[in-house]
Structure 1
Amino acid sequence: MQDPRMEDELVIASSPTDDGISCWDLHTGAEHLRYKLCSSPPHGLASVAGRFLASSQLRNPKSSASGTILYWSWNKPQPEVKSFPAEAIKPLVSNSQGTYLAGGGVSGDIYFWEVATGKLLKKWHAHYRAITCLVFNDDQSLLISGAEDGCVRVWSLFLIFDEVRRAEAKHLFEYSFNEHSLRVTDVKTGYGGCNAIIVSASEDRTCKVWSLSRGNLLKNIVFPSIIDAISLDPGEHVFYAGGRDGKIYIAGLSAPGASNSSYGNHIIGSMSEHSKAITCLASSADGFLLVSGSEDGMIRVWDTRTRNITRIFRHTKGPINNVLVIRQLQNTSPRTSNHTLASPLRRHGAPLPSPLEKFVNSADENAYVKVFINPHTTSNQHLDSSYITVQTMENQIKELQQQGSSAAAEVDVERLKSEQQRSLQMIQQWKTMYDNLHQFCVDELLDPSHPGISSGQPM
Structure 2
Amino acid sequence: MLSEVVLCSSTTDSIINVLDFRTGTLYTSFKQNNCFKHALALIPYPGQCDRIGLIISAQADKSLLHIYSFQKDQVHLKFICPEKIVALVVSNRGAFCAGGTDNGKIYIWEISTGILCKVFDGHYKKINVLKFTSDDSALISGSEDAGVNVWLLTSLLDDSVDETPSPYYTWSEHSLPITDIWCGIGNFNTTRVLTSSLDHTCKLWDLATGYLLTTFIFPTVITCIIVDPAERMFFGGGNDNLIYQVYLYRKQENRGYSATNSNEEIIAVGGTGSIEDVCEISSSKDNRKGNVFKGHSSSITTLALSYDATLLLSGSQDGTLMIWDITSKQMIKNFSHYKGPITNLFTFIKPPDLVSSINNLSNKIPIQPIQLFQRNTKQHSEQKINVEYVNIILNDNTKVKVIFGLI
Q: Which one of 285, 292, 295 corresponds to residue 273 of structure 1? A: 295
User: CA separation in 2, counterparts of 1:171 and 1:335?
Assistant: 44
User: CA separation in 1, counterparts of 2:365 and 2:58?
Assistant: 26
Q: Which one of 83, 91, 94 corresponds to residue 87 of structure 2? A: 91
Q: Which one of 170, 180, 185 corresponds to residue 186 of structure 1? A: 180
Q: Which one of 216, 229, 233 corresponds to residue 228 of structure 2? A: 233
Q: Which residue pairs with 1:27 in the alignment?
A: 22
User: CA separation in 1, counterparts of 2:115 and 2:299?
Assistant: 38
Q: Which one of 111, 124, 133 corresponds to residue 137 of structure 1? A: 133
Q: Which residue pairs with 1:218 in the alignment?
A: 213
For the aligned residues, what is the CA RMSD? Answer: 2.8
C-alpha deviations, 1:225-256, integer Å up to 9, x for none?
11110001111111000001111001122344
User: CA separation in 2, counterparts of 1:200 and 1:125?
Assistant: 21
SS of residue matched to 1:321:
strand
User: Residue 371 of structure 1: CA displacement?
Assistant: 3.3
Q: Which residue pairs with 2:6 in the alignment?
A: 11
User: CA separation in 2, counterparts of 1:107 and 1:25?
Assistant: 38
Letter in structure 1 aligned against 2:385? V
Larger RCO: 1 or 2 (CA < 8 Å, sep 6+): 2
The 3 A distance-change label for structure 1 pair 345 and 245 is: farther
The 3 A distance-change label for structure 1 pair 346 and 94 is: farther
User: CA separation in 2, counterparts of 1:318 and 1:346?
Assistant: 35
The structure whose Rg is larger is 1
User: Residue 99 of structure 1: CA displacement?
Assistant: 2.4
Q: Which residue pairs with 1:438 in the alignment?
A: none
Higher helix share: 1
User: Residue 299 of structure 1: CA displacement?
Assistant: 0.9
Q: Which residue pairs with 1:355 in the alignment?
A: 372
Listed as ranges, the matches of 1:309-458 within 5 Å are 309-329=331-351, 332=352, 347-350=364-367, 352-362=369-379, 366-372=382-388
Q: Which residue pairs with 1:290 in the alignment?
A: 312
The 3 A distance-change label for structure 1 pair 163 and 288 is: same
Letter in structure 1 aligned against 2:60? L
User: CA separation in 1, counterparts of 2:226 and 2:97?
Assistant: 21
The 3 A distance-change label for structure 1 pair 82 and 307 is: same
Tell me, yes or no, if the aligned pair for 2:194 and 2:203 is still in contact at 8 Å. yes
The 3 A distance-change label for structure 1 pair 251 and 88 is: same
Letter in structure 1 aligned against 2:55? L
User: CA separation in 1, counterparts of 2:166 and 2:296?
Assistant: 41
Is structure 2 residue 145 aligned with structure 1 residue 124? Answer: no
Q: Which residue pairs with 1:175 in the alignment?
A: 169
User: Residue 58 of structure 1: CA displacement?
Assistant: 1.0
The 3 A distance-change label for structure 1 pair 84 and 138 is: same
The 3 A distance-change label for structure 1 pair 373 and 193 is: same
User: CA separation in 2, counterparts of 1:198 and 1:187?
Assistant: 7
User: CA separation in 1, counterparts of 2:390 and 2:34?
Assistant: 33
C-alpha deviations, 1:332-382, integer Å up to 9, x for none?
46967xxx8669966413255233221113466x2543533689xxxxxxx
User: CA separation in 1, counterparts of 2:360 and 2:239?
Assistant: 36
Letter in structure 2 aligned against 1:286? D
User: CA separation in 1, counterparts of 2:10 and 2:354?
Assistant: 29
Q: Which residue pairs with 1:57 in the alignment?
A: 59
User: CA separation in 2, counterparts of 1:334 and 1:83?
Assistant: 23
Q: Which one of 279, 282, 293 corresponds to residue 261 of structure 1? A: 282
Tell me, yes or no, if the aligned pair for 1:302 and 1:311 is still in contact at 8 Å. yes
The 3 A distance-change label for structure 1 pair 345 and 230 is: farther
Q: Which residue pairs with 2:264 in the alignment?
A: none
Tell me, yes or no, if the aligned pair for 2:149 and 2:168 is still in contact at 8 Å. yes
Letter in structure 1 aligned against 2:56? A
User: CA separation in 2, counterparts of 1:107 and 1:344?
Assistant: 44
Q: Which residue pairs with 1:299 in the alignment?
A: 321
The 3 A distance-change label for structure 1 pair 145 and 274 is: same
The 3 A distance-change label for structure 1 pair 222 and 114 is: same
Letter in structure 2 aligned against 1:173? P
Is structure 2 residue 151 aligned with structure 1 residue 155? Answer: yes
List runs of 5+ in structure 2 lacking aligned partners: 45-51, 251-268, 270-275, 392-404
User: Residue 9 of structure 1: CA displacement?
Assistant: 1.5
User: Residue 67 of structure 1: CA displacement?
Assistant: 2.5
Letter in structure 1 aligned against 2:387? V
Letter in structure 1 aligned against 2:306? S
Letter in structure 1 aligned against 2:75? P
User: CA separation in 1, counterparts of 2:239 and 2:389?
Assistant: 38
TM-score calculated relative to the size of structure 1 = 0.72
User: Residue 316 of structure 1: CA displacement?
Assistant: 2.7
Q: Which residue pairs with 1:451 in the alignment?
A: none
